Amino acid sequence: MLLSLYLLTAMAEATRLSSNGTAQRGPYISVITNRTTNLLIRGTMLFGVGVFLALVLNLLQVQRNVTLFPPDVISSIFSSAWWVPPCCGTASALIGLLYPCIDRRLGEPHKLKREWSSVMRCVAVFVGINHASAKVDFANNVQLSLTLAALSVGLWWTFDRSRSGFGLGVAIALLATLATQLLVYNGVFQYTSPDFLYIRSWLPCIFFAGVITMGNIGRQLALYECKVVQEKIHQD
């Protein structure tokens, strides 16, 4: 996370520098403008964010221990299987790279509030949705699922509002749920309490919100590349 934050600042700095329209491009900026490297950097950052969010949100899901004796921090962070955070990271990197790509293909660039503050707000709401699903006591699971679905759609409406975003979100959420279901069938892990057709019904909602969030981050990161490339074209 720290690394990715650092990269983020560095990238912003680079964009700022290059937006000044100077010809004094150091090797660093040329690295940023290099397409492959840029892709790599973005992927790494998204991966880092994904892993971090997976770890933190997993902690949220950890049920409150009865004991006051402070449990082992490390063990509670890595209470889930070791492969879950990397999977989340990879998935988020893919999604974050896919979104701007699809935007470019469809030719309808994302217009709505392309600022970091908006992205931060989106992430905060996503964490809030997770928090609600983990900590708030709902009367029954239907209520929980409906609330979460409403919240997720609200998230999409507030921060995305693009049809491609919605479609991709739904598709990926369904795919991810399916994958999880397969894993469960194969006995890799078990839900604590499956409520609907052997799955937790809130899982797709969480997936959907996560896809929207990561897509938002990915688009914001891609903005830097766009800027730099535009700058380059302009200068040439």
Partner 1 sequence: MTVRERLRQNISAAFYRHGLLCASYPVPIILFTSVSILTCCYPLLKLPLPGTGPVEFTTGAKDYSVPSHEPQGDLGERPDWYQGPPVAYIQQVLVKAAVSPWDSSLVPVDVFRSPLGRVFSLLEEIRNHVYTDRSLETLCLQVTELLPGLRRMQSILPEHGCLLVSPGNYWQNRRDLFDSDPDILKTVHQHEPKGIHTSATLKDLLFGVPGKNTGVSLYSRKRVVTYTITIALSSYDARFVASLRARLKQLHPSVNCTLREDHMVHVHFKEEIGIAELIPLVTTYIILFAYIYFSTRKIDMVKSKWGLALAAVVTVLSSLLMSVGLCTLFGLTPTLNGGSIFPYLVVVIGLENVLVLTKSVVSTPVDLEVKLRIAQGLSSESWSIMKNMATELVIILIGYFTLVPAIQEFCLFAVVGLVSDFFLQMFFFTTVLSIDIRRMELADLNRRLPAEAGMPPPPKPGPLRPREAPPPPRPSPHTITLQAPAFRNLRLPKRLRVVYFLARTRLAQRIIMVGTVIWIGILVYTDPAGLRTYLAAQVSEQSPLGEAGLPPHLGVAPVFPGGDPTSTLSVLPAPEPTPLPENQSQGHGASRPGGAPLTSPQISWGSEDEEVWRRLSFRYWPSLFSYYNITLAKRYISILPVIPVTLHLNPQEAIEMRHPQDTQHAPRSSAKTTDLQTDLTLYKVAALGLFAGVVLVLLLFCLYRVLCPRNYGQNGVQHGRRRRGDLPCDEYGYSPPVSEISPLLLRGHSMDIECLASDGMLLASCCLAGQIRVWDAQTGDCLTVIPNNGYIRTHTCTLKCCPLSLPGPPLRRRVTPSRPTLFGDQPDLTPLIDTNFGELPPSHTTVGFGFDFGGLVEKAYKEHEASPTMHFTRRRSLGDPPVAPPERINVSPGEWDSSVWSLELRGNLIAAGRSSGKLELWDAVEGTLRCCNEDGSSGITALAFLNNRIVAARLNGSLDFFTVDINKPLGLLQYRGPPGRASLPSSPCYSSEDVISCQLTRSVQCAHQKPITVLRAAAGRVVTGSQDHTVRVYRLEDSCCLFTLQGHSGGITAIYIDQTMVLASGGQDGAICLWDVLTGSRVSHVYGHRGDVTSLVCTNSCVISSGLDDLICIWDRSTGIKLYSIQQEVGCGSSLGVISDSLLVTGGHGCVSFWDLNYGDLLQTVYLGQNSEGQHVRQLLVLDNAAIVCDFGSELSLVYVPSVLEKLD
C-alpha atoms less than 13 angstroms from C-alpha of 183 in its C-beta half-sphere: 14
- Residue 138 within binding range of partner 1, rule CB under 8 A: yes
- Residue 111 within binding range of partner 1, rule CB under 8 A: no
Residue 139 DSSP code: S
Q: Tokens 């990715």, residue?
A: 4
In whole angstroms, how close is the CB of 11 to partner 1 at the nearest point?
14
- Residue 230 within binding range of partner 1, rule CB under 8 A: no
d(CA 52, CA 32): 24
d(CA 207, CA 144): 15
In whole angstroms, how close is the CB of 185 to partner 1 at the nearest point?
30
Kindly tell me which of 37 and 61 has the beta carbon lying closer to partner 1. 61
CA separation (Å) from 205 to 27, 150, 152, 170? 44, 9, 6, 9
Q: Given candidates 16, 104, 115, 191, which one binds partner 1 under the rule CB under 8 A?
A: 115
d(CA 179, CA 185): 10
Q: Given candidates 3, 10, 40, 56, which one binds partner 1 under the rule CB under 8 A?
A: 56
| Centroid of chain to Cα 194 | 25
Binding mask 59-78 for partner 1 (x = CB under 8 A): xx-x-xxxxxxxx-x--xx-
Q: Strand, coil or helix: what is 174?
A: helix
- Residue 101 within binding range of partner 1, rule CB under 8 A: no
Kindly tell me which of 62 and 81 has the beta carbon lying closer to partner 1. 62
In whole angstroms, how close is the CB of 147 to partner 1 at the nearest point?
5
Total residues contacting partner 1 by CB under 8 A comes to: 45
Q: Given candidates 84, 98, 132, 149, which one binds partner 1 under the rule CB under 8 A?
A: 132
**Footprint of partner 1 on 1-40 (CB under 8 A):** 19-24
- Residue 236 within binding range of partner 1, rule CB under 8 A: no
Reported for 31-38, long-range contacts at CB under 8 A and 24+ positions apart, including other chains, are 32/224, 32/228, 33/228, 33/229, 33/232, 35/225, 38/224, 38/225, 38/228
What residues make contact with partner 1 under the rule CB under 8 A?
19-24, 56-57, 59-60, 62, 64-71, 73, 76-77, 115-117, 119-121, 123-125, 127-128, 131-132, 135-139, 143, 146-147, 150, 154
